[in-house]
Structure 1
Amino acid sequence: MFSKSVIINTILMFFLWCAAAVQAQAPTKISSMPIVSDLDRYAVELLKLVFEHTDGKYRLEPQTGEQRTQGRVIEDIKNGVTQIMWAATDPTLETELTPIRIPILKGFLGHRIFLIRKGDQAKFDRVRTLEDLKQLKLGQGTTWADTKIMKANGLNIVTTQKFAGLMYMLDGGRFDAFPRGVQEPWSEVNFAPGLELEVEKRIMLVYKMPMYFFTSKANTTIAKDIELGLNRAIADGSFDKVFFNDPAIRAALEKADIKNRLIFHLDNPTLSKETPIDRPELWLDVEKL
């Protein structure tokens, strides 16, 4: 016969073992940037899908509050306040943080259509070649990554520091067109009262501009698991379902009427050598839309 103390100790050990097992199986909380835009909402939805494909190891909890500057978010990642962020990549960012090199927007950021002045569509209807387009002036922000890409491809670029300044410069005739991401010009066309702008109807610039998830250099396990989850979601088709069913992306593709546009493919000399350009399934193929 076992003594009462042995039985009690055995029961206590059993409950302690159960508690440890539950704790061991509890998903790790992952903090991300707050949701303040359609892009943030999409990124969070994609992350939830990714974590579903990593055997329930993680639980996503986006931060609350207002939008932070990219510099602030980078510091939060480095200090462990936030575990994951998303941003268009550049060489500096890739040295500071760990990029998961799967473009979460399928390169969507690198698809540009123009804001133009009302009544100027005929000017763009006459464009047939890239050389024709080089005769026109395009407006860009001085420090934007797109500016370097367009200049490297020989386009005629006029720059200024402030976004609002570009809108007024376009309206005032300082340049002919303002290239914007496919999802952007529809809301920007009415940027301010009195501006006479419209969305150009037949030209699109396309270049590789990946947006990645980023983690800290110390979070190698999380980075590997996110990459694994992304690849699993790509393989089973659920990644594309999230992308093409996103309301903002779907609306932008429909409004842009890409299949009827003249497309100019540009090189992006700022890309890292590790960019997965040899994986066509990771990129939006405008020829198949």
Structure 2
Amino acid sequence: MPLLRHLPLLLLAVFATLPATAGERLTYPLHERGETQRIYAVDLLRLALEKGGGDYDLQPSPLPMTPSRSQYSLEHDDGEVQVIWTMTTHEREERLLPVRIPIYKGLIGWRIPLVRDDTPELLAEVNGREDLQRFSIGQRRDWPDTRILRANGFDVKVSSSYPGLFRMLAAGRFDLLPREAVLVRQEQQRMASEGVSLAVDEHLVLHYPSAFYYFTSRTRPELAETIRRGLEAAIADGSFERLFQQYFSEALRTLRLDQRRVIELDNPLLPPLPLERQELWYRP
């Protein structure tokens, strides 16, 4: 029959329109604010997976997750997430498997304070750690920064809510909120769009040695190795640096880190870092 004679061609046409078989689903935690836009850490992870030779379908978790929840999920290997990125600590490196390449090139340890918009000159006369200890600092309860700042003698007020921190600062519950240099203007602008007016301090930068790593479950060494291999390839061919500059060069130019007074802090949570590899670190 004519239809049967053409059946092989019809089947070939149907299968040609089907999507290729996806690789293993690899889930990372959706930010707790529910943000879905592409961000640097996701783009860098996708680049590493491509260059590392793994066959993965990278997707956010269906629902937003707090940092503590995503770490718990990874530690207990419950299948909700397979990779996270977070600040390294002794505790995290004991419970999870780190990929010891700092994805923000150490910028995560350079912190610029947000202050209330009616006190933009609050820190103009601060010249050292003791001067800064006169002011109260806000942090999220489960961030490592809370322990770091308290270990350096600061009065730290905590919140369990990320967006709540900015509203607490605006309401005068504490004096300043140090944020990552690469994110501080973005966060200020986002809060302004929500009616919360804050100012970026123009005088100081707090610094403590730190690194954000990708982490996997300790049951997934092959995944950690794929990410490590891909990051090393991206460093070698310059694509890591190009992506870093694409995201952060303009912010770093306007923040003028090299012209600010640097308040050096100790980091008691810090495992050994690959400091001998100068190409892994940003320096103002």
TM over 0.5: same fold?
yes
CA–CA distance in 1 between the matches of 2:218 and 2:158?
34
Paired residue secondary structure (2:65): coil
Percent identity of paired positions between Structure 1 and Structure 2: 33
- Please identify which structure carries the higher helix content: 1
Deviation at 1:160, TM superposition (A): 4.4
Paired residue secondary structure (1:115): strand
**Equivalent residues of 1:31, 1:84 under 8 A apart:** yes
User: Structure 1 runs of 4+ off > 6 angstroms?
Assistant: none
CA–CA distance in 2 between the matches of 1:89 and 1:106?
13
Q: 2:4 — aligned with what?
A: none
Paired residue secondary structure (1:65): strand
Deviation at 1:258, TM superposition (A): 2.3
> Alpha carbons of 1:58 and 1:265: their partners in 2 closer, same or farther (altered >3 Å)?
farther
Q: 2:5 — aligned with what?
A: none
* 1:157 matches 2:156: yes
**TM, length-normalised to structure 2:** 0.75
Q: What is the 5 A alignment of 1:241-252?
A: 241-246=242-247, 249-252=248-251
CA–CA distance in 2 between the matches of 1:207 and 1:165?
25
Q: What is the 5 A alignment of 1:183-198?
A: 183-184=183-184, 185-187=187-189, 189-190=191-192, 193=195, 197-198=198-199
**Equivalent residues of 2:74, 2:83 under 8 A apart:** no
Show structure 1 runs of 5+ residues with no match.
Answer: 1-25
Q: What is the 5 A alignment of 1:173-252?
A: 173-182=172-181, 183-184=183-184, 185-187=187-189, 189-190=191-192, 193=195, 197-246=198-247, 249-252=248-251
Q: 1:42 — aligned with what?
A: 40
1:80-99: CA deviation from partner (whole Å, max 9, x where unpaired) = 56432222333333233211
> Alpha carbons of 1:165 and 1:75: their partners in 2 closer, same or farther (altered >3 Å)?
closer
**Equivalent residues of 1:115, 1:189 under 8 A apart:** no
Q: What is the 5 A alignment of 1:1-289?
A: 29-33=24-28, 37=35, 41-54=39-52, 56-63=53-60, 65-70=62-67, 71-72=69-70, 74-75=72-73, 78-80=77-79, 82-163=81-162, 166-182=165-181, 183-184=183-184, 185-187=187-189, 189-190=191-192, 193=195, 197-246=198-247, 249-273=248-272, 275-286=273-284
Deviation at 1:100, TM superposition (A): 0.8
1:233-267: CA deviation from partner (whole Å, max 9, x where unpaired) = 22332211111112xx3453344332332222222
CA–CA distance in 2 between the matches of 1:99 and 1:30?
20
**Equivalent residues of 1:103, 1:212 under 8 A apart:** yes
Aligned length: 256
CA–CA distance in 1 between the matches of 2:96 and 2:221?
11
> Alpha carbons of 1:173 and 1:230: their partners in 2 closer, same or farther (altered >3 Å)?
same
**Equivalent residues of 1:189, 1:199 under 8 A apart:** no
**Equivalent residues of 1:33, 1:84 under 8 A apart:** yes
**Equivalent residues of 1:35, 1:41 under 8 A apart:** no
1:62-90: CA deviation from partner (whole Å, max 9, x where unpaired) = 24633234425642671456432222333
The structure with the largest alpha-carbon Rg is 1
Please identify, of 62-71 and 259-268, the stretch whose mean Cα deviation from structure 2 is larger.
62-71
The one-letter code of the counterpart of 2:123 is: F
> Alpha carbons of 1:124 and 1:75: their partners in 2 closer, same or farther (altered >3 Å)?
closer
The one-letter code of the counterpart of 2:265 is: L
Deviation at 1:204, TM superposition (A): 0.9
Deviation at 1:141, TM superposition (A): 3.0
CA–CA distance in 2 between the matches of 1:155 and 1:51?
40
